[in-house]
Amino acid sequence: MEAARVVLNRDPDAGLDAIAVEAGLTRRAVYGHFANRDALVQEMVVRGTARVAEALVAIDHPQPLVRLALIASRMWREVDTMRLTSLLAVRGPFQEQVAEQLRPVRRHLLDTVRDGARHGVRTDIPADTLARLIEGAAIMVLDEATRTRMSAASGRRLAMLAVLAVAGLDAAAANRLVDETPELRA
Amino acid sequence: MEAARVVLNRDPDAGLDAIAVEAGLTRRAVYGHFANRDALVQEMVVRGTARVAEALVAIDHPQPLVRLALIASRMWREVDTMRLTSLLAVRGPFQEQVAEQLRPVRRHLLDTVRDGARHGVRTDIPADTLARLIEGAAIMVLDEATRTRMSAASGRRLAMLAVLAVAGLDAAAANRLVDETPELRA
DNA sequence: CGTAACTTGCACGTCGCTGTGCAAGTTAGT
DNA sequence: ACTAACTTGCACAGCGACGTGCAAGTTACG
Protein backbone atom coordinates (compact mmCIF):
# COMPACT_ATOMS: atom_id res chain seq x y z
CA MET A 1 0.00 0.00 0.00
CA GLU A 2 2.63 2.40 1.19
CA ALA A 3 4.95 0.85 -1.37
CA ALA A 4 2.46 1.38 -4.14
CA ARG A 5 2.30 5.08 -3.33
CA VAL A 6 6.05 5.40 -3.53
CA VAL A 7 6.48 3.44 -6.72
CA LEU A 8 3.51 4.84 -8.60
CA ASN A 9 4.67 8.30 -7.67
CA ARG A 10 7.87 7.58 -9.55
CA ASP A 11 6.17 5.88 -12.44
CA PRO A 12 2.37 5.78 -12.67
CA ASP A 13 2.64 2.90 -15.13
CA ALA A 14 4.92 0.79 -12.98
CA GLY A 15 4.28 -2.93 -13.05
CA LEU A 16 2.90 -4.91 -10.18
CA ASP A 17 6.29 -6.49 -9.81
CA ALA A 18 7.96 -3.18 -9.00
CA ILE A 19 5.35 -2.45 -6.35
CA ALA A 20 5.75 -5.86 -4.79
CA VAL A 21 9.52 -5.55 -4.63
CA GLU A 22 9.24 -2.13 -3.03
CA ALA A 23 6.93 -3.68 -0.46
CA GLY A 24 9.46 -6.44 0.19
CA LEU A 25 7.16 -9.07 -1.25
CA THR A 26 6.78 -11.14 -4.35
CA ARG A 27 4.40 -10.33 -7.10
CA ARG A 28 2.63 -13.56 -6.30
CA ALA A 29 2.07 -12.63 -2.66
CA VAL A 30 0.27 -9.42 -3.57
CA TYR A 31 -2.54 -11.43 -5.12
CA GLY A 32 -3.20 -12.78 -1.66
CA HIS A 33 -4.40 -9.33 -0.62
CA PHE A 34 -5.82 -7.81 -3.77
CA ALA A 35 -7.79 -9.40 -6.55
CA ASN A 36 -5.79 -7.62 -9.23
CA ARG A 37 -3.65 -4.63 -9.95
CA ASP A 38 -6.55 -2.27 -10.39
CA ALA A 39 -8.01 -3.23 -7.05
CA LEU A 40 -4.74 -2.33 -5.38
CA VAL A 41 -4.41 1.02 -7.07
CA GLN A 42 -8.08 1.74 -6.52
CA GLU A 43 -7.84 0.98 -2.82
CA MET A 44 -4.75 3.15 -2.47
CA VAL A 45 -6.04 6.10 -4.39
CA VAL A 46 -9.42 6.04 -2.72
CA ARG A 47 -7.95 5.98 0.75
CA GLY A 48 -5.44 8.68 -0.06
CA THR A 49 -7.90 10.94 -1.80
CA ALA A 50 -10.37 10.57 1.02
CA ARG A 51 -7.77 11.63 3.56
CA VAL A 52 -6.68 14.62 1.52
CA ALA A 53 -10.21 15.65 0.70
CA GLU A 54 -11.19 15.50 4.33
CA ALA A 55 -8.20 17.57 5.38
CA LEU A 56 -8.85 20.21 2.75
CA VAL A 57 -12.55 20.55 3.31
CA ALA A 58 -11.96 20.94 7.02
CA ILE A 59 -10.06 24.15 6.40
CA ASP A 60 -12.02 26.91 7.99
CA HIS A 61 -10.67 30.36 8.61
CA PRO A 62 -12.46 33.70 8.56
CA GLN A 63 -10.14 35.18 5.94
CA PRO A 64 -10.50 33.69 2.44
CA LEU A 65 -6.90 34.47 1.55
CA VAL A 66 -5.68 32.56 4.56
CA ARG A 67 -7.92 29.68 3.56
CA LEU A 68 -6.28 29.63 0.15
CA ALA A 69 -2.82 29.58 1.67
CA LEU A 70 -3.88 26.86 4.08
CA ILE A 71 -5.11 24.75 1.20
CA ALA A 72 -1.70 25.00 -0.42
CA SER A 73 -0.04 24.24 2.87
CA ARG A 74 -2.05 21.10 3.57
CA MET A 75 -1.56 19.94 0.02
CA TRP A 76 2.16 20.17 0.59
CA ARG A 77 1.85 18.12 3.73
CA GLU A 78 0.37 15.34 1.61
CA VAL A 79 2.46 15.86 -1.50
CA ASP A 80 2.82 12.25 -2.46
CA THR A 81 -0.85 11.52 -2.19
CA MET A 82 -1.79 14.81 -3.83
CA ARG A 83 0.37 14.23 -6.88
CA LEU A 84 -1.02 10.77 -7.41
CA THR A 85 -4.56 11.89 -6.82
CA SER A 86 -4.29 14.76 -9.24
CA LEU A 87 -2.65 12.50 -11.80
CA LEU A 88 -5.29 9.82 -11.49
CA ALA A 89 -7.98 12.47 -11.60
CA VAL A 90 -7.04 13.21 -15.18
CA ARG A 91 -6.21 9.87 -16.78
CA GLY A 92 -6.71 6.27 -15.85
CA PRO A 93 -9.72 4.17 -14.98
CA PHE A 94 -10.49 6.07 -11.79
CA GLN A 95 -11.18 9.51 -13.17
CA GLU A 96 -14.84 9.49 -12.20
CA GLN A 97 -14.22 8.00 -8.81
CA VAL A 98 -11.56 10.53 -7.90
CA ALA A 99 -13.47 13.43 -9.40
CA GLU A 100 -16.43 12.44 -7.28
CA GLN A 101 -14.31 12.39 -4.14
CA LEU A 102 -12.84 15.75 -5.01
CA ARG A 103 -16.17 17.41 -5.61
CA PRO A 104 -16.57 18.84 -2.12
CA VAL A 105 -12.98 20.05 -2.18
CA ARG A 106 -13.48 21.82 -5.47
CA ARG A 107 -16.69 23.30 -4.27
CA HIS A 108 -14.93 24.56 -1.18
CA LEU A 109 -12.16 26.06 -3.26
CA LEU A 110 -14.64 27.74 -5.55
CA ASP A 111 -16.53 29.18 -2.61
CA THR A 112 -13.29 30.47 -1.19
CA VAL A 113 -12.35 32.12 -4.46
CA ARG A 114 -15.74 33.78 -4.69
CA ASP A 115 -15.58 34.76 -1.08
CA GLY A 116 -12.18 36.30 -1.60
CA ALA A 117 -13.38 38.76 -4.20
CA ARG A 118 -13.60 41.45 -1.55
CA HIS A 119 -10.19 40.63 -0.10
CA GLY A 120 -7.94 40.96 -3.08
CA VAL A 121 -8.71 37.88 -5.15
CA ARG A 122 -8.85 38.89 -8.81
CA THR A 123 -12.23 39.06 -10.50
CA ASP A 124 -11.09 39.58 -14.08
CA ILE A 125 -11.06 35.82 -14.51
CA PRO A 126 -14.27 33.83 -13.94
CA ALA A 127 -14.30 32.32 -10.48
CA ASP A 128 -14.60 28.74 -11.70
CA THR A 129 -11.74 29.13 -14.11
CA LEU A 130 -9.64 30.79 -11.47
CA ALA A 131 -10.36 27.98 -9.05
CA ARG A 132 -9.10 25.47 -11.59
CA LEU A 133 -5.99 27.50 -12.19
CA ILE A 134 -5.28 27.72 -8.49
CA GLU A 135 -5.66 23.99 -8.15
CA GLY A 136 -3.41 23.42 -11.13
CA ALA A 137 -0.81 25.85 -9.87
CA ALA A 138 -0.67 24.16 -6.51
CA ILE A 139 -0.10 20.77 -8.08
CA MET A 140 2.48 22.21 -10.41
CA VAL A 141 4.46 23.73 -7.57
CA LEU A 142 4.23 20.50 -5.62
CA ASP A 143 5.69 18.70 -8.61
CA GLU A 144 8.47 21.20 -9.02
CA ALA A 145 9.31 21.25 -5.34
CA THR A 146 9.44 17.47 -5.28
CA ARG A 147 11.60 17.28 -8.34
CA THR A 148 14.17 19.65 -6.90
CA ARG A 149 14.03 17.93 -3.50
CA MET A 150 13.09 21.18 -1.86
CA SER A 151 13.07 21.37 1.92
CA ALA A 152 9.76 21.08 3.69
CA ALA A 153 9.71 24.72 4.72
CA SER A 154 10.66 26.04 1.28
CA GLY A 155 8.16 23.83 -0.48
CA ARG A 156 5.35 24.85 1.78
CA ARG A 157 6.09 28.53 1.46
CA LEU A 158 6.50 28.28 -2.28
CA ALA A 159 3.17 26.51 -2.62
CA MET A 160 1.44 29.20 -0.61
CA LEU A 161 3.05 32.04 -2.51
CA ALA A 162 2.25 30.51 -5.87
CA VAL A 163 -1.39 29.96 -4.98
CA LEU A 164 -1.74 33.49 -3.73
CA ALA A 165 -0.01 34.80 -6.85
CA VAL A 166 -2.42 33.04 -9.16
CA ALA A 167 -5.26 34.23 -6.97
CA GLY A 168 -4.18 37.73 -7.89
CA LEU A 169 -2.13 39.02 -5.00
CA ASP A 170 1.07 40.83 -5.71
CA ALA A 171 4.25 39.48 -4.22
CA ALA A 172 4.52 42.01 -1.40
CA ALA A 173 1.00 41.41 -0.15
CA ALA A 174 1.43 37.66 -0.32
CA ASN A 175 4.62 37.70 1.70
CA ARG A 176 3.07 39.99 4.26
CA LEU A 177 0.10 37.70 4.62
CA VAL A 178 2.24 34.59 4.98
CA ASP A 179 4.56 36.20 7.49
CA GLU A 180 2.00 37.93 9.63
CA THR A 181 -0.62 35.26 9.92
CA PRO A 182 0.07 32.89 12.82
CA GLU A 183 -1.82 29.99 11.22
CA LEU A 184 0.42 30.13 8.17
CA ARG A 185 3.61 29.78 10.16
CA ALA A 186 2.79 26.39 11.64
CA MET B 1 3.34 12.87 -38.41
CA GLU B 2 0.51 15.33 -38.03
CA ALA B 3 -1.62 12.38 -36.99
CA ALA B 4 0.86 11.35 -34.35
CA ARG B 5 0.69 14.79 -32.80
CA VAL B 6 -3.08 14.65 -32.58
CA VAL B 7 -3.29 11.15 -31.21
CA LEU B 8 -0.43 11.37 -28.76
CA ASN B 9 -1.90 14.59 -27.48
CA ARG B 10 -5.00 12.66 -26.52
CA ASP B 11 -3.11 9.71 -25.15
CA PRO B 12 0.68 9.80 -24.87
CA ASP B 13 0.73 6.02 -24.64
CA ALA B 14 -1.40 5.43 -27.71
CA GLY B 15 -0.46 2.47 -29.82
CA LEU B 16 1.04 2.68 -33.26
CA ASP B 17 -2.21 1.37 -34.61
CA ALA B 18 -4.17 4.37 -33.38
CA ILE B 19 -1.66 6.72 -34.95
CA ALA B 20 -1.79 4.90 -38.27
CA VAL B 21 -5.57 4.96 -38.36
CA GLU B 22 -5.61 8.67 -37.58
CA ALA B 23 -3.21 9.14 -40.50
CA GLY B 24 -5.50 7.12 -42.75
CA LEU B 25 -2.97 4.34 -43.09
CA THR B 26 -2.39 0.85 -41.83
CA ARG B 27 -0.04 0.03 -39.03
CA ARG B 28 1.99 -1.93 -41.54
CA ALA B 29 2.41 1.04 -43.86
CA VAL B 30 3.93 3.20 -41.17
CA TYR B 31 6.91 0.89 -41.02
CA GLY B 32 7.66 1.95 -44.56
CA HIS B 33 8.55 5.41 -43.28
CA PHE B 34 9.85 4.83 -39.79
CA ALA B 35 11.97 2.03 -38.43
CA ASN B 36 9.85 1.73 -35.30
CA ARG B 37 7.49 3.55 -33.01
CA ASP B 38 10.22 5.35 -31.14
CA ALA B 39 11.69 6.69 -34.36
CA LEU B 40 8.34 8.18 -35.28
CA VAL B 41 7.77 9.82 -31.93
CA GLN B 42 11.35 11.00 -31.83
CA GLU B 43 11.09 12.59 -35.25
CA MET B 44 7.85 14.29 -34.37
CA VAL B 45 8.92 15.59 -31.00
CA VAL B 46 12.27 16.80 -32.26
CA ARG B 47 10.73 18.72 -35.14
CA GLY B 48 8.01 20.19 -32.94
CA THR B 49 10.31 21.14 -30.13
CA ALA B 50 12.73 22.74 -32.54
CA ARG B 51 9.99 24.90 -34.02
CA VAL B 52 8.71 25.99 -30.65
CA ALA B 53 12.17 26.60 -29.27
CA GLU B 54 13.05 28.74 -32.23
CA ALA B 55 9.87 30.77 -31.92
CA LEU B 56 10.36 31.35 -28.22
CA VAL B 57 14.02 32.27 -28.36
CA ALA B 58 13.28 34.74 -31.11
CA ILE B 59 11.15 36.79 -28.75
CA ASP B 60 12.80 40.09 -28.33
CA HIS B 61 11.18 43.12 -26.80
CA PRO B 62 12.69 45.89 -24.71
CA GLN B 63 10.32 45.31 -21.80
CA PRO B 64 10.90 42.07 -19.88
CA LEU B 65 7.27 41.86 -18.80
CA VAL B 66 6.14 42.02 -22.39
CA ARG B 67 8.62 39.32 -23.24
CA LEU B 68 7.09 37.12 -20.58
CA ALA B 69 3.61 37.70 -21.93
CA LEU B 70 4.82 37.02 -25.45
CA ILE B 71 6.30 33.74 -24.37
CA ALA B 72 2.91 32.70 -23.02
CA SER B 73 1.24 33.93 -26.16
CA ARG B 74 3.50 32.00 -28.54
CA MET B 75 3.19 28.92 -26.41
CA TRP B 76 -0.54 29.14 -26.81
CA ARG B 77 -0.13 29.40 -30.55
CA GLU B 78 1.61 26.05 -30.48
CA VAL B 79 -0.44 24.43 -27.74
CA ASP B 80 -0.47 20.95 -29.15
CA THR B 81 3.25 20.83 -29.70
CA MET B 82 3.95 22.54 -26.40
CA ARG B 83 1.92 20.10 -24.36
CA LEU B 84 3.59 17.13 -25.97
CA THR B 85 7.02 18.66 -25.65
CA SER B 86 6.57 19.49 -21.99
CA LEU B 87 5.18 16.04 -21.35
CA LEU B 88 8.02 14.30 -23.12
CA ALA B 89 10.49 16.56 -21.36
CA VAL B 90 9.56 14.96 -18.06
CA ARG B 91 9.01 11.28 -18.81
CA GLY B 92 9.80 9.00 -21.67
CA PRO B 93 12.95 8.06 -23.52
CA PHE B 94 13.52 11.53 -24.94
CA GLN B 95 13.96 13.52 -21.76
CA GLU B 96 17.58 14.36 -22.43
CA GLN B 97 17.02 15.14 -26.08
CA VAL B 98 14.13 17.49 -25.39
CA ALA B 99 15.83 19.06 -22.38
CA GLU B 100 18.82 19.77 -24.57
CA GLN B 101 16.65 21.44 -27.19
CA LEU B 102 14.91 23.49 -24.53
CA ARG B 103 18.12 24.73 -22.97
CA PRO B 104 18.30 28.00 -24.90
CA VAL B 105 14.63 28.63 -24.24
CA ARG B 106 15.06 28.12 -20.52
CA ARG B 107 18.12 30.29 -20.50
CA HIS B 108 16.16 33.00 -22.29
CA LEU B 109 13.34 32.74 -19.81
CA LEU B 110 15.72 32.90 -16.89
CA ASP B 111 17.39 35.96 -18.34
CA THR B 112 14.03 37.57 -18.81
CA VAL B 113 13.05 36.87 -15.22
CA ARG B 114 16.30 38.33 -13.95
CA ASP B 115 15.96 41.25 -16.26
CA GLY B 116 12.44 41.87 -15.02
CA ALA B 117 13.50 42.40 -11.44
CA ARG B 118 13.43 46.14 -11.96
CA HIS B 119 10.07 46.06 -13.70
CA GLY B 120 7.88 44.36 -11.16
CA VAL B 121 8.98 40.74 -11.32
CA ARG B 122 9.12 39.38 -7.80
CA THR B 123 12.51 38.77 -6.24
CA ASP B 124 11.41 36.98 -3.09
CA ILE B 125 11.72 33.71 -5.01
CA PRO B 126 15.09 32.74 -6.53
CA ALA B 127 15.13 33.58 -10.22
CA ASP B 128 15.78 30.03 -11.38
CA THR B 129 12.95 28.67 -9.28
CA LEU B 130 10.64 31.39 -10.48
CA ALA B 131 11.53 30.66 -14.08
CA ARG B 132 10.55 27.03 -13.58
CA LEU B 133 7.29 28.04 -11.96
CA ILE B 134 6.46 30.36 -14.83
CA GLU B 135 7.15 27.63 -17.31
CA GLY B 136 5.04 25.20 -15.31
CA ALA B 137 2.22 27.67 -14.95
CA ALA B 138 2.13 28.31 -18.67
CA ILE B 139 1.87 24.62 -19.45
CA MET B 140 -0.76 24.16 -16.78
CA VAL B 141 -2.91 26.91 -18.22
CA LEU B 142 -2.49 25.51 -21.70
CA ASP B 143 -3.71 22.17 -20.43
CA GLU B 144 -6.65 23.68 -18.66
CA ALA B 145 -7.61 25.84 -21.62
CA THR B 146 -7.41 22.86 -23.93
CA ARG B 147 -9.46 20.70 -21.63
CA THR B 148 -12.26 23.23 -21.45
CA ARG B 149 -12.07 23.90 -25.19
CA MET B 150 -11.45 27.56 -24.53
CA SER B 151 -11.55 29.96 -27.45
CA ALA B 152 -8.28 31.07 -28.96
CA ALA B 153 -8.57 34.59 -27.62
CA SER B 154 -9.51 33.51 -24.10
CA GLY B 155 -6.80 30.91 -23.94
CA ARG B 156 -4.15 33.31 -25.06
CA ARG B 157 -5.18 35.98 -22.63
CA LEU B 158 -5.46 33.53 -19.79
CA ALA B 159 -2.00 32.20 -20.49
CA MET B 160 -0.55 35.68 -20.45
CA LEU B 161 -2.34 36.69 -17.27
CA ALA B 162 -1.32 33.50 -15.48
CA VAL B 163 2.32 33.90 -16.42
CA LEU B 164 2.33 37.51 -15.30
CA ALA B 165 0.59 36.56 -12.07
CA VAL B 166 3.19 33.96 -11.19
CA ALA B 167 5.87 36.45 -12.14
CA GLY B 168 4.55 38.60 -9.35
CA LEU B 169 2.32 41.18 -10.96
CA ASP B 170 -1.00 41.95 -9.40
CA ALA B 171 -4.10 41.51 -11.51
CA ALA B 172 -4.63 45.18 -12.28
CA ALA B 173 -1.11 45.74 -13.54
CA ALA B 174 -1.24 42.60 -15.66
CA ASN B 175 -4.48 43.58 -17.32
CA ARG B 176 -3.19 47.04 -17.95
CA LEU B 177 -0.06 45.67 -19.54
CA VAL B 178 -1.93 43.25 -21.75
CA ASP B 179 -4.45 45.83 -22.86
CA GLU B 180 -2.10 48.70 -23.47
CA THR B 181 0.74 46.96 -25.24
CA PRO B 182 0.17 46.75 -28.99
CA GLU B 183 2.33 43.64 -29.38
CA LEU B 184 0.16 41.75 -26.92
CA ARG B 185 -3.05 42.40 -28.78
CA ALA B 186 -1.97 40.65 -31.97
C1' DC C 1 2.14 -0.69 -71.34
C1' DG C 2 5.52 -1.01 -67.77
C1' DT C 3 7.74 0.15 -63.83
C1' DA C 4 8.60 2.03 -59.41
C1' DA C 5 6.82 3.50 -55.14
C1' DC C 6 3.61 2.82 -51.93
C1' DT C 7 -0.11 0.42 -49.52
C1' DT C 8 -2.76 -3.53 -47.85
C1' DG C 9 -3.95 -7.96 -45.57
C1' DC C 10 -2.50 -11.67 -43.25
C1' DA C 11 0.51 -14.53 -40.90
C1' DC C 12 3.99 -15.06 -37.64
C1' DG C 13 7.35 -14.67 -33.70
C1' DT C 14 8.63 -11.90 -29.65
C1' DC C 15 8.23 -9.36 -25.49
C1' DG C 16 6.40 -7.73 -21.23
C1' DC C 17 2.87 -7.73 -18.06
C1' DT C 18 -1.15 -9.93 -15.94
C1' DG C 19 -3.61 -13.43 -13.34
C1' DT C 20 -3.83 -18.35 -11.73
C1' DG C 21 -2.53 -23.19 -9.86
C1' DC C 22 0.08 -25.83 -6.95
C1' DA C 23 3.58 -27.70 -3.93
C1' DA C 24 6.73 -26.42 -0.50
C1' DG C 25 8.48 -23.37 2.96
C1' DT C 26 8.22 -19.92 6.81
C1' DT C 27 6.13 -17.60 10.73
C1' DA C 28 3.18 -16.77 14.63
C1' DG C 29 -0.08 -18.17 18.03
C1' DT C 30 -2.01 -21.66 21.22
C1' DA D 1 3.94 -29.72 18.42
C1' DC D 2 -0.01 -28.38 15.64
C1' DT D 3 -2.45 -25.34 13.07
C1' DA D 4 -3.58 -21.29 10.35
C1' DA D 5 -2.02 -17.59 7.78
C1' DC D 6 1.15 -16.05 4.86
C1' DT D 7 4.93 -16.28 1.52
C1' DT D 8 7.76 -18.24 -2.14
C1' DG D 9 9.11 -20.33 -6.55
C1' DC D 10 7.88 -22.00 -10.69
C1' DA D 11 5.08 -23.02 -14.40
C1' DC D 12 1.48 -21.76 -17.40
C1' DA D 13 -2.06 -19.38 -20.28
C1' DG D 14 -3.71 -15.00 -22.02
C1' DC D 15 -3.50 -10.45 -23.87
C1' DG D 16 -1.94 -6.49 -26.23
C1' DA D 17 1.54 -4.20 -28.64
C1' DC D 18 5.62 -4.46 -31.42
C1' DG D 19 8.26 -5.58 -35.57
C1' DT D 20 8.82 -8.50 -39.85
C1' DG D 21 7.97 -11.32 -44.25
C1' DC D 22 5.49 -11.95 -48.23
C1' DA D 23 2.13 -11.89 -51.88
C1' DA D 24 -1.18 -9.05 -53.97
C1' DG D 25 -3.14 -4.70 -54.99
C1' DT D 26 -3.20 0.41 -56.07
C1' DT D 27 -1.38 4.74 -57.84
C1' DA D 28 1.51 7.87 -60.42
C1' DC D 29 4.64 8.67 -64.04
C1' DG D 30 7.44 7.73 -68.31
B29: the nucleotide nearest its CA (via C1') is: C7
Q: Check residue B86 and give its pLDDT.
A: 95
Average pLDDT over residues B96-117: 97
Distance CA A75, CA A53 (A): 10
Which chain C nucleotides are covered by protein, judged by CB under 7 A?
6-11, 16-22
Of B11, B136, B165, the CB nearest to A165: B165
C1' (D26) to CA (B115) span, angstroms: 60
Q: Check residue A150 and give its pLDDT.
A: 97
Average pLDDT over residues B67-71: 98
CB atoms within 10 A of CB A54: 12
Distance CA B40, CA B42 (A): 5
> Which of the residues in chain A have pLDDT under 50?
none
Q: What are the pLDDT digits (tens) for A135-154?
A: 999 999 999 999 999 999 99
Average pLDDT over residues B137-145: 98
**What element of type H or E holds A178?**
helix A171-180
Average pLDDT over residues B49-75: 98
DSSP code of residue B34:
-
DSSP string of A147-175? HTT--HHHHHHHHHHHHHHHHT--HHHHH
Domain ranges of chain A: 60-184
